Amino acid sequence: MIDRETFVELMSGVCAPVTVVTTATADGRPHGSTVSSFTSLSLDPPLASFALDRGSGLLPHLHQGARVGVNILAAHQHTLAASFARRCPGTGSKFDGITWTTRAGLPHLPDSAGWTAGRVERHVPGGDHVLLVISVEEAHSTPAAPLVYLRRSFGTYSGLPAGG
């Protein structure tokens, strides 16, 4: 078994999309968190997944059948990523001072590079995290450059020149 530091260093070299996963409680209160583990899982049926730390404040709101939105952040939204990555103090909300709307009944961050909404199909235990499998019901993408995370910093994607 490798040590934690070696594994963390290895995984820091894996480029990951930066998303803000959101949901709303029955009384309409928004909840969200920055997630860099979002990925497609299946085309037929359309499934996606992401992982949350077992101690995440968002996890208790995402039971099986819960509605969930995924805001795929654009390169210019790195401050939003940092805001939603922090723990919320006291009774405040990560949405305080943030411009957001409601889309498909879920908190949505305008100007994101993409958006998807669906329902939590199941939880899969995975060490200190839980993998959530999402049944995708709605999707929208834009040509905006995506925000990515690599080597503990934010950046964006750029293609190689033709023939490169």
Enumerate domains of the chain plus CATH numbers. Answer: 18-85+100-149 (2.30.110.10)
pLDDT at 91: 63
According to the model, what pLDDT value does residue 158 have?
A: 82
Backbone φ and ψ of 30, nearest 5° = -80, 145
Q: pLDDT tens-digit profile of 70-105?
A: 999 999 999 999 999 988 766 668 999 999 999 999
pTM for the whole structure: 0.93
Residue type, 32: G
Mean pLDDT of the residues in the chain: 94
Residue 26: what pLDDT? 87
% of the chain at pLDDT higher than 90: 85
Are 119 and 67 within 8 A, CB to CB? yes
For range 13-34, the mean pLDDT = 94
Q: Is the predicted pLDDT of residue 148 greater than 90, yes or no?
A: yes
For residue 146, with 0-12 CB atoms within 10 Å meaning exposed, 13-18 middle and 19 or more buried, which class applies? Answer: buried
